[in-house]
Structure 1
């Protein structure tokens, strides 16, 4: 009997998986006018230390983050570099300072352009969220490494939200046009995590006019990419107004009293 069987070809060698490396980009080029006159918001003191330093430490506490890129005001990169050199930061994390642009979107893009080629995932974190716990940072990193192209930490809303027709002048009554279902809404925080290639593609293809994009996950959504949500934390709030700074001081004092910080 004729045997046309042939020996099986050996399977082609598998390409080794590219190792994960995560970097965090902190845009800190804004002025933060809602906190009032004075230094830029990122440089305002919290517990005697600039908020930016707290934010850098928050990212560096995660063992998954090997590089933190701080995007400074275009005319203040040297000042920010000196400020970082004056404060103790984890030795295992590299710190890089680059000048930013006129909008947050331009500053984030400057941070992305400064990343080494081996960085595979990126965290974008607000300098004005100085007290985000490391567990939240790690949860975002883990979700990206498990395959989600974009991840945001978020909290359910405590208040009912109304959609209104904006008034033509400040303080004028505004008619309600809709009441969204609160159970489906989330208040998004940072750090927001991304597959690097996905975020770069969003910045290259999504043009935003005026002040630019204030939410990188929103840019990724416009690509048709699904953004995943992981639990946020109540202490990852944004310090925007004077009352927020009072609350942040109280949280920091409690952490120091209980040796959590």
Structure 2
């Protein structure tokens, strides 16, 4: 099995309060996107395609290895992954889609996803259990009920797919379709999605507090 890694890195970083795309924000002196690419490569995924904002392509090229393929992303995550998938090397028969915003994902998570694909899964995502009490509220914010946690999971990346499964699912999507992740894309096409264990270190950097916590992990 030959896998290609796609890194979605075209986000603006507005919620992070950054003056640049989030993937270029430094963590431990290196851009977030560099950490994400290294995670994939440390797990054996050599071919990597990164979807970037068009105006910042040069900035990404300056921080990433020369053999990382850069493509211009779209206005949504779905559009960016679609563009990166089209640019992925033809020899790959599996695709891992990773978020630049999850810079400290351990390579072992990637290996678990790859192993599931090698053993026949068409689609697989890393997950963690929900540990907090989870409730529903009405329009006024008043608690209306509690959701059983036993079957709830928090989904992480990289998410892995047989290439044909992901390509066919994207081909069936309207150009303006938007999903929060690629598991939702293949599920919309009728493909079951398996799970493997995620890792708390694979948390997503969304706001300034998340970046501060990531800096503590790097420093520790």
Q: TM-score, normalised by structure 1?
A: 0.80
Shift of 1:66: 2.2
Asked which structure has the greater CA Rg, the reply is 1
Aligned-residue CA RMSD in angstroms? 1.6
- Deviation at 1:85? 4.2
TM-score where L is the length of structure 2: 0.94
Which structure 1 segments of 5+ residues have no match?
A: 1-19, 87-93, 168-172, 255-261
Q: CA deviation at 1:163?
A: 2.8
Question: Take 2:147 and 2:190, find their aligned partners in 1: how far apart are those partners?
Answer: 23
More strand by share: 2
Q: Distance in 1 between matches of 2:175 and 2:72?
A: 20
- Once residues 159 and 208 of structure 1 are traced to their aligned partners in structure 2, the CA distance between those partners, rounded to angstroms, is 37
How far residue 178 of structure 1 moved from its aligned partner, in angstroms, is: 4.3
How far apart are the structure 2 equivalents of 1:208 and 1:98?
17
CA distance in 1, matches of 2:215, 2:117: 32
Instruction: Tell me if structure 2 keeps the 8 A contact 1:151–1:230.
Output: yes
Matches within 5 A, 1:59-98: 59-63=40-44, 65-85=45-65, 94-98=67-71
Deviations 1:12-61 (A, max 9, x none): xxxxxxxx110100011110211114111111110111111111111110
Matches of 1:66 and 1:85, distance apart in 2: 11
In structure 2, how many angstroms separate the alpha carbons of the residues matched to 1:85 and 1:66?
A: 11
Q: Tell me the residue number matched to 2:38.
A: 57
- Name the SS of the counterpart of 2:160 in structure 1: strand
The structural deviation recorded for 1:77 is: 1.7
Q: Which has the higher contact order (CA 8 A, sep 6+)?
A: 2
CA gap 1:181/1:103 in 2 versus in 1, 3 angstroms: same
How far did 1:115 drift?
1.1
Q: How many angstroms does 1:145 deviate by? A: 1.4
Matches within 5 A, 1:142-181: 142-165=115-138, 167=139, 173-181=140-148
Report the 3-state secondary structure (helix = DSSP H, G, I; strand = E; otherwise coil) of the residue aligned with 1:226. Answer: coil
Aligned length: 220
Cα deviations by residue, 1:68-90 (Å, 9 ceiling, x for unpaired): 1111102222221122149xxxx
Contiguous gaps of at least 5 residues in structure 2: none
CA contact (8 A) 1:44 1:50 kept: yes
- 1:52 and 1:130 in contact (8 A); partners too: yes
Matched, 1:131 2:98: no
